[in-house]
Amino acid sequence: MKRLQLQRWSSSVLSPRARTGGRLQQHLYYNLRRQSTVSPAPQAENEPLFEEQSLNSSTHIPQSSHFKYLLPSPPVEAARESAKLAALHARLYLPSRLPLETLARSLVDASADSNPNFNNEALATLGNDLLSHYTSEHLVCTYPRLPLTVIFAAMYAYVGPKSLAAMAKEWGVEMAAVPGGEVDPGLLQFKRVLPGTDVNAGPVTGTERPNEHRKSWRKSMTSRVVYDNEYGDPVGVSGESATPESQNTQGVTAEHANATFVRAVMGAIYLHAGRPAAKRFFEQHFLSRHLNISDLFNFSQPARDLSRLCARENFEPPVAKIISETGRKSRHPVFVVGIFSGQDKLGEGAGASLLEARSRAAVAALKGWYLYSPLNVRVPSSMEEEGAAPWKPVHVDLGEVIV
Amino acid sequence: MPVQGIRAVTTARNGVGAFILPCKRLDFHYCDWAGSSRGMVAFLKNTLPSFAKANPQIEIRVSPRPHKHPVIKGHYINGREKAVCVRNLEPEQIFQKANLLKEASGEKLKRTKKPVTSINESVRGIWSPYHGDLKSV
């Protein structure tokens, strides 16, 4: 498989300065606000319209010593002079092909600068797609039997906004009090919400789900795959299109801004350094974090689930047997109960009553089933590497039991 | 609902995968007049450029602090800071102090009693009194 020459492609699309006629245009528009990396997607299609678009979208800036104070976010030239930004670039071991200007742009939230040529919205959208793609393929291939609710929870744990905000903090990213053109570009720039604002006040509207006004109707698990986002949360379509305006007035939370920054860094690495570097960055920073997936299960009736599972897999029906016990008549009895299917012991648990021990044993048996992980797992995106071995199909399971 | 997912947050393991240096900023304060800053001024003139070049991941600030002893302050990822007074020290000693701040984790100093600290589960498992041989009284 031939690798896409991303660097060449992205440089021609991303930076108007890197073009051949750049010097002339610079001379013509020298007092315009310019970006060295422009959002790639819309311009890639209508290449000839590019110059007019950049001309129209850029705003006239008076060339005075105070012009910095008029800008909503730091000018592009300031990125080279920021010690914070250079230190952050080196601290993350970012590839040298990723310029400081792009890193500075990924630090500007849409609430600080609404101009899409200068904020990180486009980079964050790309980074979010990459992150959810890599995480979901890792989870589905490594644990093929995980129930969908647990996959949603694990996705949230790996690339959810809480984890990403924690990562930005561990990367040493500091936040600017108020965004502005004179601020150091190494600080995360976003408009803060006013204290006392209820962040998740109203229900999400504008989802594509039919009958969304019926609050009491059941939402099936499979419909969540179609209508909801990667964490199983409802996503508002009309709400998203309205967000830039509402964000400009209200601002965003620090957690949201930090998560957007981390996603934007991922998107920027993909654009400037290519797919292998993005994948390596993902494995080193996201996948290396610790998550105990067996803690994400919450069973309501484990014994019933286990008997349904055994019926589906044509095992003998599960039988709970006491393995050992102590102090049955005392204040602190302990029972050790095993769940057997024929001769095979499926699980074992200890509890202070027979029922508790039995349900713990059933949970252990169910976790043993759901947490099955094949050896030498390969993910589909590993085929993008050069010289990859031929693909062998991964284990695909029937899925969770339906009760 | 047969099984529900519980939302959690992954925990960082710095050094597993990527390593982020905990020291993010070093502030060097000196005084132009006082004699206790003589070593610090020599350090800033001669050693600091190479130190900064060797540690690009640390933001370095140099600022005068008149009529005070020279100080190096380290700012860390966990939000804490460490300050070392370097009055009357030679440039080599100041370099050692800067290295000490660079390599520190920013945590409070504490005594480690166990050889290994880990968030991974024990491979061998925890001893259980209800398993193994039954003891007859």
pTM confidence score: 0.85
Cβ atoms A241, A179 nearer than 8 A: no
The verdict on B11 touching A (C-beta cutoff 8 Å) is yes
The predicted-structure confidence for B86-102, as pLDDT tens digits, reads as follows: 999 999 999 999 999 99
B62 in a structural domain? yes
**Predicted ipTM?**
0.93
Confidence of residue A245 (pLDDT cuts 50, 70, 90): low
B23 inside domain: no
pLDDT greater than 60 at residue A193: yes
Residue A31 pLDDT? 52
Residue-by-residue DSSP string for A286-349: IITSB--GGGGEEES-HHHHHHHHHHHTTPPPPEEEEEEEE-TTSSS-EEEEEEEETTEEEEEE
Does residue B63 lie within any of the structural domains? yes
Over residues A227-231, the mean pLDDT reads 90
What is the residue extent of each domain of chain A? 66-195+220-232+248-290, 298-372
Point out the residue among B10, B14, B119 whose CB comes nearest to the CB of A157: B10
Contact status of B132 with chain A (Cβ, < 8 Å): no
Average pLDDT, rounded, for chain A: 84
Answer CATH for A298-372 from 3.40.50.720, 3.30.160.20, 3.40.50.970, 3.20.20.70: 3.30.160.20
B38 in a structural domain: yes
Instruction: Check if B81 contacts A (Cβ < 8 Å).
Output: no
Partner A, chain B 26-45, Cβ-Cβ below 8 Å? none
Q: Whole domain around residue B92: which residue ranges?
A: 29-78+86-103
- The closest alpha carbon to A348, from A328, A367, A374, belongs to A367
Question: Residues, chain A, total?
Answer: 403
Q: Is the pLDDT of residue A58 over 80?
A: no
- B106 CA to chain A: closest CA distance, Å? 12
pLDDT value, residue A294: 94
Domain count for chain B? 1
The per-residue pLDDT for A208 is 81
Distance CA B129, CA B59 (A): 55
Chain A: nearest CA to B101, how far in angstroms?
A: 16
CATH match of A66-195+220-232+248-290 with 1.25.40.10? no
Nearest CA to CA, how far is A90 from chain B (Å)? 5
Q: Of residues A2 and A312, which shows the higher confidence score?
A: A312
**What is the per-residue pLDDT across A95-154, written as a single tens digit (0 to 9) for each?**
999 999 999 999 999 999 999 999 999 999 999 999 999 999 999 999 999 999 999 999
pLDDT band at B117 (very low <50, low <70, confident <90, very high): confident
- The CATH number for B38's domain is 3.40.30.10
Residue of A138, A289, A401 to mutate for B, most B C-beta atoms under 10 A = A289
Interface test with B, best of A81, A85, A91, A305 (most B CBs within 10 A): A91
CB contact under 8 A, B3 and A149: yes
All residues of chain B having their beta carbon less than 8 Å from the beta carbon of residue A154 are 5
Does B108 reside within a domain?
Answer: no
